[in-house]
Amino acid sequence: MARKAVRLELSASEVAQLNGWQSARSTAQQVALRCRLVLAAVDGKQDLEIAAAFRISRHTASLWRRRVHEKGIGAVWEIEKGRGRKPQLDQARRDTIIAATLETKPAGATHWSCRDMANAQGVSKNTVNRLWQLHNLKPHLSQTFKLSRDPRFVEKLTDVVGLYLNPPEKVLVLCVDEKSQIQALDSDPAGIAFEKGPMRHHDA
């Protein structure tokens, strides 16, 4: 006989928090999925229904129902032993490193190296390298690394990266760059925006 699923009850504030996490662009896909599984359980759906709806195993649906029941909603962010590297830095600390990369320069140099940034921030070289890869930052490949003057640049960059990491459901996310001498400003009847003319710089 199949074991009866644990009844999962959460407060309105906890449900709101899960909804916020699962829709935030900066939330990792696996965490967003866990939030959706838990919310479905709170709505009264059984593990088999949840498994079919999200194309996962019944065991996975049962696992996150039970884990949140036992540990609270913060469990959706946990990484078990042997299942990937546990994050060592919180979001504020990561933002600080990205901001330092984009908005400052090391003494006597035009841009930061991975090792210099790691020493300056008191973290490992691998940590800096992973953050730079995540945000597609390559200051070492540019002779004149340009610093953005937009005070909200890091916030905007994080939103864009988050959109790629955790796209909305049933939405195709594409990256389209401007073609030389053509800039997207005015829409034509086909819904494609073009304007002929010299390239102009726009802040992110």
Question: pLDDT by residue (tens digit) across 46-78?
Answer: 999 999 999 999 999 999 999 999 999 989 988
Question: pLDDT by residue (tens digit) across 5-44?
Answer: 778 999 999 999 999 999 887 677 888 899 999 999 999 9
Residue with tokens 């030389």: 180
Burial zone of 150 (CB within 10 Å; 0-12 exposed, 13-18 middle, 19+ buried): middle
199 pLDDT tier (thresholds 50, 70, 90): very low
Q: How far apart are CA 139 and CA 114, in angstroms?
A: 9
Task: Determine the average pLDDT of the residues in 125-154.
Answer: 70
pTM (predicted TM-score): 0.43
Burial 115-143 (b: 16+ CB within 10 A, else e): eebbeebebeeebbeebbeebebebeeee
